[in-house]
């Protein structure tokens, strides 16, 4: 359980601040806005830490919270953009696209967010093996050694994890 009482905010920022800021900035391309979203993410985990079930890594959980907030922000701005296209003089104003994605970008972010959520639902070993392969870029041999599995086991786990992700994401999302 993560609360203000059992984790100091300094550790939270030191351990996950750079990573979350990197994730936010890669989507928003604005430092100030990214900082705000990272702040909100930390505040959310401190307020709702009892909902963290520790089935997934805290980093994955924080990333999911952050991505959700960004999607909500974009959806809200997309609605407002169509309301605010006219300035007071009735002239069309080109929307500021610096931190707002295209519809395609929003769909891609939603896919990434759903993928992160589905990763969280995987059995821990499967998730850790996928993270070792895709995030840490370890070789199959290194992963087999770390997890004490055979190469055949490795392929089976990758296959089963992908089947589970496919089921979680749904056919429509992949098409």
Partner 1 sequence: MKNCKDIVMIVEKRELEGLGLLDRLRLRFHFLLCKGCEKYGKDSALLHKLLCQQKQRLEEKIRLSTEEKSLLKSRISNQ
Q: Is the dihedral of CA 57, 55, 35, 78 positive or negative?
A: positive
Spatial distance between the Cα atoms of 137 and 146, rounded to a whole number of angstroms = 13
Say what the alpha-carbon torsion angle 20, 21, 22, 23 is, to the nearest 10 degrees. Answer: 50
Q: Is residue 143 a contact partner of residue 154, using CB atoms and an 8 Å limit?
A: yes
Nearer to partner 1, 85 or 105 (CB): 105
Spell out, one character per residue from 129 to 148, where the chain touches partner 1: x when CB under 8 A holds, - when not.
-x--xxx-x--x--------
Residue span binding partner 1 (CB under 8 A) among the ranges 72-80, 81-89, 96-104, 162-170: 162-170
Alpha helices in 55-102 (DSSP H): 58-83
Q: What is the DSSP letter of 52?
A: -
Spell out, one character per residue from 67 to 106, where the chain touches partner 1: x when CB under 8 A holds, - when not.
----------------------------------------
CB of 80 to partner 1, least distance (A): 25
- Reported in sequence order, the residue ranges of the chain that DSSP labels E, i.e. its strands, are none
Q: Is residue 34 a contact partner of residue 24, using CB atoms and an 8 Å limit?
A: yes
Nearer to partner 1, 22 or 124 (CB): 22
- Please give the backbone phi and psi of residue 55, each rounded to the nearest 5 degrees, phi first: -75, -25
Residues 3-62 that bind partner 1 (CB under 8 A): 9-10, 12-14, 17-19, 21-23, 25-27, 31, 35, 38-39, 42-43, 46
**Binding residues for partner 1, total number by CB under 8 A:** 41
Binding site for partner 1 (CB under 8 A): 9-10, 12-14, 17-19, 21-23, 25-27, 31, 35, 38-39, 42-43, 46, 108, 111-112, 115-116, 130, 133-135, 137, 140, 152, 155-156, 158-159, 162, 165-166, 174
């Amino acid at each position: 359980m993560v609360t203000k009482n059992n984790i100091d905010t300094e550790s939270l920022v030191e351990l996950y601040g750079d990573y979350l800021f990197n994730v936010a900035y890669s989507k928003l391309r604005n430092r100030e806005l990214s900082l705000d979203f990272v702040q909100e993410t930390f505040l959310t985990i401190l307020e709702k830490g009892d909902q963290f079930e520790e089935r997934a890594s805290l980093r994955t959980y924080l990333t999911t919270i952050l991505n959700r907030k960004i999607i909500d922000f974009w959806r809200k701005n997309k609605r407002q953009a169509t309301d605010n296209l006219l300035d007071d003089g009735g002239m069309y104003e080109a929307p500021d696209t610096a931190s707002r994605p295209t519809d395609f970008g929003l769909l891609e972010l939603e896919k990434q967010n759903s993928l992160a959520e589905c990763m969280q639902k995987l059995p821990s070993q499967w998730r850790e093996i996928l993270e070792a392969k895709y995030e840490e870029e370890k070789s199959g041999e290194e992963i087999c050694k770390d997890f004490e599995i055979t190469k055949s086991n490795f392929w089976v786990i990758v296959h089963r994890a992908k089947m589970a992700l496919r089921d979680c994401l749904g056919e429509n999302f992949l098409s």
